[in-house]
Structure 1
């Protein structure tokens, strides 16, 4: 059984803050099972965007896994992709992270 979206987001924010970073909820989604997108901002103004990993890339252990959708792009590129995702799923969560590294914060799968 997978953790509810609202609980996962709350735990993620706490982990980021405890590591000395900043995190914010840009858009609140469905509490039970809303898709979660994570926007990781870097000091040089670029961003990475992580979205839910496809089922075939995720382990069946109930943990949420993410895949990197965009890497080191400008903010408008992230906004464009999120706007497209919202057309399909208006219940998605968008979380913003301003931290040195995402290592240990959430699971990322390799699509390679």
Structure 2
């Protein structure tokens, strides 16, 4: 089995890297520090982008894929429903240019 970062360490690394690149990141909901699932709300200059979730693919490799409604106004309800069924879920927001590249570089 390949070693991997805990959820808490991964979240910290994503936020730290966003800040190093001149953006910002924040934890909207704290999940399980070891193995919680992670949702990331991407943004650039305050304009919401994709909502991503880290999932295992068929080969056992983590990939980031879009999740939830495309309509930004419906996302808070979606996230609230997800947190009710999975209290270990992390929800973070990264507001930085090239956010998707940052996520793929750190989290894969």
TM-score above 0.5, yes or no: yes
Report 1:1-112 matches (<5 A): 1-43=3-45, 45-56=47-58, 59=61, 64-70=62-68, 73-74=71-72, 76-107=73-104
Aligned CA RMSD, in angstroms, stands at 2.4
TM-superposed deviation, 1:105: 1.4
Residue-pair matches, total: 103
TM-score (norm 2): 0.79
Structure 1 residues 57 and 102, CA gap change in structure 2 (3 angstroms):
farther
Task: Measure, in 1, the Cα distance between the counterparts of 2:43 and 2:49.
Answer: 4
Structure 1 residues 18 and 82, CA gap change in structure 2 (3 angstroms):
same
Unaligned runs of 5+ in 1: none
TM-superposed deviation, 1:65: 2.6
SS of match in other structure, 1:104: helix
Unaligned runs of 5+ in 2: none
Q: Deviations over 1:56-78 (max 9, x none)?
A: 2752xxxx43111157632x321
TM-score (norm 1): 0.76
